[in-house]
Structure 1
Amino acid sequence: MFSKNTLQKCLFTAVFVLGGTAITSNATAATTPGRTEFEILMNGKPVGRHSVTVSKSADITNVRIAIDMAGKIGPIGFTYRHRCEEAWRGTQLTSLNCTDKENRASKSVAANLRGTDLVVDGTGFKGSAPASLLPSSWWRFSTINQTRLLDSRDGKLSRVNVNRVGEEVLQIGGTPVRANHYRVRGAVNTDLWYDGTGRWVRTAFKIAGQSFDYRKVTTLTGSPRE
């Protein structure tokens, strides 16, 4: 039997913390600007949206992330709102500023590059972290090459692991798309899909017997990739 707090903790950890061990792909190293948006389904019914918008200004890549969810698991209602801004110079994260609200509970994290470290000020962790650490924002395919991630909700340093399942064909906007399927195992069980160029195209997981699925609602051609 799951308590309200346990359901919320499991749900929002699944929605936001992912990553893995070293796995290769055909993903390009150059960041391509664009926008991707997913409709979040719970047991086939819409409960929210998740969008990522990537733009460039000179040598800086700017990223805006928005997640909004609301629904019920049995009699237990939940709401979730996440906003995050990332700045990158090439493959190096230079700053991060995120706010996160689960029902009435709020979290936040700010991180800035200082020399060879990321200086993190979050509700879950305050201190220095390796500059090579990536945030748990999913849109960068290289996230799956990490064994630790910076949790974009509260700044915690999370150990992660993932294995490649294989190649599958997904229907995106009525078009068949070949995608690589990765299975995350850790505090939660989550599955991720990226196409052959490293664009994020699907996420799925189960919590307390409920099935959650990300259905891409924007075109592949306009999607960002690193």
Structure 2
Amino acid sequence: MIDRRFLLAAGLAALPGLAFAAAPANRRLVFKVLRNGTQIGEHQMSFAGDPASPTVTTDVRMTVKLGPVPVFRYRHHAVERWTGGRFVSLETTTDSNGKAERVSARRTDGGVVIETVKGRTSGSAGLRPFTHWNPEVLSGPLFNPQGGKILKVTARRVGANHWAVRGEAEIDNWYDEAGVWTALKGKLEDGSRIEYRRA
């Protein structure tokens, strides 16, 4: 079944801004989501504003079926804001098979503050959401945009356009020459495989 690794799905002013990946020409990314080769949903992202100060909106819808019977439904909505290459805020709502989650994260003078239904967590100024689309964030600390948890992961570049994330997640992301996110593959705790393919 779906586990927390799968649902990882979608600085201070003195810190330098990130080099940003180029948004697609049509300002949208759409992926088919497959589990063990079977499509179970779709992951969509839209980009608005200046390329160095984008607002990125994400919508994910997935349904896992056992034969014709739905056994798992997932809906996720996120609005992510950056200014001058620096993470500013993230607001997410998630319905994971009836379990509602909400995350509000924002950069402050003291770092990044994350508020969830379980309370408040503070992280370093370099903390950023693990939303996959910008490979530049993978070199620093990350948090889960669904639950707000600060992740214990490491990321390394294993090819010119390939990043491998390991630890609490086992995810590989690919990007094109311009840095646009093109694919994802991951392994779930039950041994099944998750894959994103550009639609």
The reply to whether TM is greater than 0.5 is yes
C-alpha distance in structure 1 between counterparts of 2:70 and 2:166, whole Å? 26
Contact 2:90–2:104 under 8 Å retained in 1: yes
Q: Larger relative contact order (C-alpha < 8 A, sep ≥ 6)?
A: 1
The equivalent residue for 2:133 is: 139
Relative distance call for 1:161 and 1:194 in structure 2 (3 A) is same
Relative distance call for 1:59 and 1:103 in structure 2 (3 A) is same
Structure 2's unaligned 5+ residue stretches are 11-17
C-alpha distance in structure 1 between counterparts of 2:192 and 2:149, whole Å? 26
Runs of 4+ in 1 over 6 A off after TM superposition: 73-76
Relative distance call for 1:164 and 1:29 in structure 2 (3 A) is closer
1:97 to partner: Cα distance: 0.6
Contact 2:29–2:45 under 8 Å retained in 1: yes
2:184 aligned with 1:203: yes
Relative distance call for 1:190 and 1:30 in structure 2 (3 A) is closer
* TM-score with structure 1 setting the length: 0.73
Q: Deviations over 1:50-91 (max 9, x none)?
A: 111111069842110111110136898211111000111012
The equivalent residue for 1:216 is: 198
2:29 aligned with 1:29: no
Structure 1's unaligned 5+ residue stretches are 1-6, 19-27, 168-179, 218-226
Relative distance call for 1:125 and 1:142 in structure 2 (3 A) is farther
1:103 to 80, 94, 97: 97
The equivalent residue for 1:194 is: 175
Relative distance call for 1:76 and 1:36 in structure 2 (3 A) is closer
Relative distance call for 1:100 and 1:162 in structure 2 (3 A) is same
* TM-score with structure 2 setting the length: 0.82
C-alpha distance in structure 2 between counterparts of 1:140 and 1:134, whole Å? 10
Q: Identity, % of aligned pairs? A: 28
1:31 to partner: Cα distance: 5.7
2:6 to 8, 14, 25: 14
Aligned to 1:157, the other structure's residue is in SS state coil
AA partner of residue 93 (structure 1): F
C-alpha distance in structure 2 between counterparts of 1:212 and 1:95, whole Å? 28
2:47 aligned with 1:54: yes
Contact 1:184–1:191 under 8 Å retained in 2: yes
